[in-house]
Amino acid sequence: MPFGLYPLGFHAPTALIAGLWGDLGRSGLATAALVHAFFPVAVYLCLRRGPGLDAPALAAAVAVVWLARSPQNYVGWGGNPSVLGTAFALVALRRLADALDSGERRAWLEAALLAVATALTHPTAAAVACYAGLALLLWRLIVRRDLGRERLGAALPALLVGLVLLAPLVSVLRDLELSGSERAWIQANLKSPPQAPAPGFAGAFRHLSGQCGDTLLMVVLVVGLLRVPRDRGRGLLAAAAALVAVEVLAVLAVGSWLPLTTTVVPDRVIPFALPVVALPLRGGFDDLGRAGARWRRGGRARLGAAVQLAVAVVLVVLVVAKHLHYHHRGLREGQIVTRADREALDWIAEHAPPEGLIVTEYFDAGQFVPALAGRPHSQPQLNPIWADEGKGAVAAMTPVLGFTGARTWAGRERAPADPRQGEAVFERAGATGTARVWRIAPPATATPARPTP
């Protein structure tokens, strides 16, 4: 595309793995799996105390991520870049908290590199990270007043490195100006329910509760907020600052008047709250480690230990059940590429000209034409800030073939048949429908009227 591509954070590792593996489609799946495995690690790093393995923090991180609906259900609709951006942002905030505590240049540099990775991966995560980092910095400057010139001076080299690495992104976005149609689409599709909460505290609470999965996790979240002031873990304050940013963005980004919030999707900031939700679970797992000693003491202590172990077993069952429901079920339901589609896409890869445009629909396997057939298509999934540029780039290409997938995503209705649809050159029937590759029919020409005698 001549207007540049953003974001690149998810596509870069996919391309790297594809260069080693040789299969772009499987590389994308591998990257998605790595991203969803990385997210609990990011939450764990926000909770960890000390340099070694913190088993209670790890157990709490995995439990809360697998219990929550967001971001597990993102896998069903391709929200993996959002997950990766949020993970980068959480680790960046943790390293920022460490840098403010220690003043070490290494911590500052790691925070800067992770912030750059966040900005290159997803704009929503970048906006939340900016507000959360600013809240954390102001708290240290105004409330605690413990940041001297020497500690802040250690951040200058990391700041310069970050600015240099962000220069290409700034050059791409510098001249960007959203059109009226792009702003209208963003407001209608990103800033309105169900993506955004209804105005007011009650609307924000219901939205957070729905995205977390149920009201139980919201109760755990409130308990976690009460624990934040008493917990001395260095990364927990970053998590609390992130939660403040979540509330601000979820309620106010609907109007898009805050800087950096033009393309923020409110429902995708919910995963930033998970480190705070995990705080009570971390304390519970820490206390569970002492259940064995209580059991040996007998009496009431043994009864208390038995109750703790029973709760732990119930929690494990609930965690596994929620994970299978939100993640694996969403992965199955979101699968739109059938065996018939794959054969049709293989045919396109073998017969279509490399630069020829493939006419596709948005909600079927046509979305995977670039990944599985290596050809451009007419419905590219772009950041909405590139909507007009994408339409212009597609209009400048010459369509050579059309593709209709065997099934649509989540039972969506098909768009009306493209008027250019001609005869089929490849068809493959499957259990859910037929995948077709068709020729582009020449435009109809009007028959000249006969002169009146």
Q: Please check whether residue 267 lies inside any domain of the structure.
A: yes
Q: Please check whether residue 184 lies inside any domain of the structure.
A: yes
Instruction: Please tell me the total number of residues recorded for the chain in this structure.
Output: 453
Last residue of a domain, one of 264, 288, 312: 288
Last residue of a domain, one of 288, 317, 352: 288
254 and 346 part of one domain: no
267 and 348 part of one domain: no
Mean pLDDT of 285-293: 72
d(CA 420, CA 440): 5
203-249 pLDDT, tens digit each: 666 666 666 666 666 666 666 666 666 665 555 666 666 666 676 66
388 and 258 part of one domain: no
Query: Which of 174-183, 299-308, 431-440 is predicted with the least confidence, judged by mean pLDDT?
Result: 299-308
Report CA-CA distances (Å) from 393 to 139, 194, 365, 398: 46, 31, 21, 10
- CA atoms within 13 Å, Cβ hemisphere of 263: 17
With b for 16 or more beta-carbon neighbours within 10 A and e for fewer, the 343-371 pattern comes to ebbebbeeebeeebbbbbbebbbbbbbbb
Q: Please check whether residue 142 lies inside any domain of the structure.
A: yes
Predicted pLDDT of residue 173: 73
Q: Please check whether residue 361 lies inside any domain of the structure.
A: yes
Mean pLDDT of 194-207: 66
232 and 379 part of one domain: no
The overall average pLDDT reported for the chain is 80
Structure tokens at 21: 């593996």
- Torsions phi, psi of 216, nearest 5? -55, -45
Q: Please check whether residue 300 lies inside any domain of the structure.
A: no
368 and 236 part of one domain: no
Report the relative pairing of strands 399-404 and 357-359 from DSSP bridges: parallel
Predicted pLDDT of residue 419: 84
Q: Please check whether residue 132 lies inside any domain of the structure.
A: yes
Whether 256 shows a pLDDT value over 70: the answer reads: no
- CA atoms within 13 Å, Cβ hemisphere of 193: 9
247 and 354 part of one domain: no
In one letter, which amino acid is 108?
Answer: W
Last residue of a domain, one of 252, 272, 288: 288
* Interior angle at CA 408, CA 404 and CA 411, nearest 5: 150
Predicted pLDDT of residue 453: 44
63 and 143 part of one domain: yes
346 and 284 part of one domain: no
Residue pair 435/404 in contact by the 8 Å Cβ criterion: yes
Q: Please check whether residue 245 lies inside any domain of the structure.
A: yes
Q: What is the largest CA-CA distance in the chain?
A: 114
268 and 359 part of one domain: no
Percent of the chain exceeding pLDDT 90 equals: 19
277 and 363 part of one domain: no
Q: Please check whether residue 389 lies inside any domain of the structure.
A: yes
* Interior angle at CA 247, CA 242 and CA 252, nearest 5: 125
- Kindly tell me the burial class for residue 331, based on how many C-beta atoms sit within 10 Å of its own C-beta (0-12, 13-18, 19 or more): middle
284 and 346 part of one domain: no
- Kindly tell me the burial class for residue 381, based on how many C-beta atoms sit within 10 Å of its own C-beta (0-12, 13-18, 19 or more): exposed
149 and 284 part of one domain: yes
Report CA-CA distances (Å) from 139 to 47, 101, 131, 241: 19, 13, 12, 9
Query: Which of 108-117, 188-197, 281-290, 373-382 is predicted with the least confidence, judged by mean pLDDT?
Result: 188-197
Mean pLDDT of 298-324: 77
Structural domain count of the chain:
2
Predicted pLDDT of residue 118: 92
Whether 422 shows a pLDDT value over 90: the answer reads: no
Domain containing 74: what range? 11-288
